[in-house]
Amino acid sequence: MSDFLIVGGGIIGLLLARELSAAGASVTVIERGECGKEASWAGGGIVSPLYPWRYTPAVTALASSAQKEYPALAKQLLDETGIDPEWERTGLLMLDAEDSNAALAWAKGVGSAMHSLSSESIYQREPLLAPGYSEGLWMPDIANIRNPRLLKALLKSLQLQPRVRFLQHSSVTGFIQGTSGEERSIEGVELLRNGQYEKVLGQHAVVTAGAWTGRLFKSLSLDVDVHPVKGQMLLLKPAKQVLSSIVLSNGRYLIPRRDGHLLVGSTLEYTDFDKSTSEVAEQSLYASALALIPKLESAQMIAHWAGLRPGAAQGIPYIGGVPGFRNLSVNAGQFRNGLVLAPASAGLLADILLGRAPRVDPLPYQLATGFSA
Ligand SMILES: Cc1cc2nc3c(=O)[nH]c(=O)nc-3n(C[C@H](O)[C@H](O)[C@H](O)COP(=O)(O)OP(=O)(O)OC[C@H]3O[C@@H](n4cnc5c(N)ncnc54)[C@H](O)[C@@H]3O)c2cc1C
């Protein structure tokens, strides 16, 4: 029997498995499909919230902690697996921040590098931008990471760990509950694998099921407000490099990858668990890309996909124990920022579960649940 059952093998579940197993615990990761193929694969990999000053201090605290951890994490994964997650400090250029005074004050307060740029400096930095941008904000320290590679490396490194077991293509359908004292306890989970129901026992269960978290908690009659928010993205391949930094304007962004590909993101759609792509979104994203860099007209369209973000109120994730249960925890709801927040989110829950000093104050992420009718 494992010390921990982790339900959901996205970036949050896998990094949690890494933290717990590194501390000597045995872990079983249970994943409905293949690990790292849902939101964590679909995302853009910007290692910062978009317009970071518009988020609450709870999101900033996790982002700041995680941003410090990322370079070392990427290097360790490369050394362990030979797969380079391509953490690249490209900087982030924002062209439409009408609240730039608030942004600069926020950056000063949290110690983040941010400069306001004149029109001339914008075009010195990115000469191929469409004309007409008169001011911008520049965050030189922001990086992007090639998230599909990050997930691949993470999975490979965990598969080399004797204390970590994977049950993929295994969908958790419910929890096996025990009766010990006043608090309820979880003895294990019930899952569906190869058309058969199986029971898997563990000392402690953690739900890291991304956008599906709220739905899974329904099996315990608990209301946990984590819901799917669809995002669509495009991948373009220009003949020559057109951009050196991440550029953000009107909520749309371009991310240059090391190999010359360019990501265009993203839509924000409330369509339940529908993960289909649409032509309307494709055209809209493409138009946003051309409006920023007209030269992209000749770029090749390589791919178009959608993913489901785990939405939670104000983008503040739930991290910690589930009230009323002795041995059930949650780590979900990172919304648009799950990649940037992941190392700190997973690290914080590991701190709590292992009785270590928490790296950030856990209070803002505590779950208050109600029983659903
Ligand atoms: C288009 C788009 C762009 C984005 N861009 C960025 C960005 O630039 N920067 C950033 O920080 N974030 C970004 N995000 C957000 C980020 O991708 C997510 O917040 C993050 O990946 C969530 O990770 P997760 O592990 O919680 O969820 P997921 O990666 O979705 O993993 C959850 C896993 O749980 C599994 N699961 C669900 N139910 C069950 C069950 N019953 N039994 C077993 N397994 C189950 C799923 O199959 C899935 O693999 C973006 C997201 C999208 C969609």
Question: Residue 100: inside a domain, yes or no?
Answer: no
CB-defined site of ligand 1, < 6 Å:
7-13, 30-33, 38-40, 42-46, 171-172, 208-212, 216, 231, 233, 265-266, 307, 309-310, 332, 334-340
Q: What is the pLDDT of residue 183?
A: 84
Across 181-195, average pLDDT: 93
From atom 41 of ligand 1, which residue's Cα is the shortest distance away?
A: 172
Q: What is the CATH number of the domain that holds 77?
A: 3.50.50.60
Q: What is the CA(39)–ligand 1 centre distance, in A?
A: 3
Question: Residue 352: inside a domain, yes or no?
Answer: yes
Count Cβ atoms within 10 A of the Cβ of residue 101 and give its class: 0-12 exposed, 13-18 middle, 19 or more buried. exposed
Q: What is the pLDDT of residue 371?
A: 64
Q: What is the CA(135)–ligand 1 centre distance, in A?
A: 34
Give the structural domain span for 159: 1-88+143-226+313-373
Tell me: the pLDDT tens digits for 134-178? 999 999 999 999 999 999 999 999 999 999 999 999 999 999 999
Q: What is the domain count for the chain?
A: 1
Q: What is the pLDDT of residue 370?
A: 63
Q: What is the pLDDT of residue 179?
A: 75
Across 81-99, average pLDDT: 95
pTM: 0.97
Instruction: Supply angle C-alpha 219, 202, 223, rounded to 5.
Output: 25
Question: Residue 137: inside a domain, yes or no?
Answer: no
Averaged confidence pLDDT in the chain: 96
Tell me: the pLDDT tens digits for 103-128? 999 999 999 999 999 999 999 999 99
Across 315-337, average pLDDT: 97
Does 180 score more than 80 pLDDT? Answer: no
Confidence of residue 19 (pLDDT cuts 50, 70, 90): very high
Question: Residue 14: inside a domain, yes or no?
Answer: yes
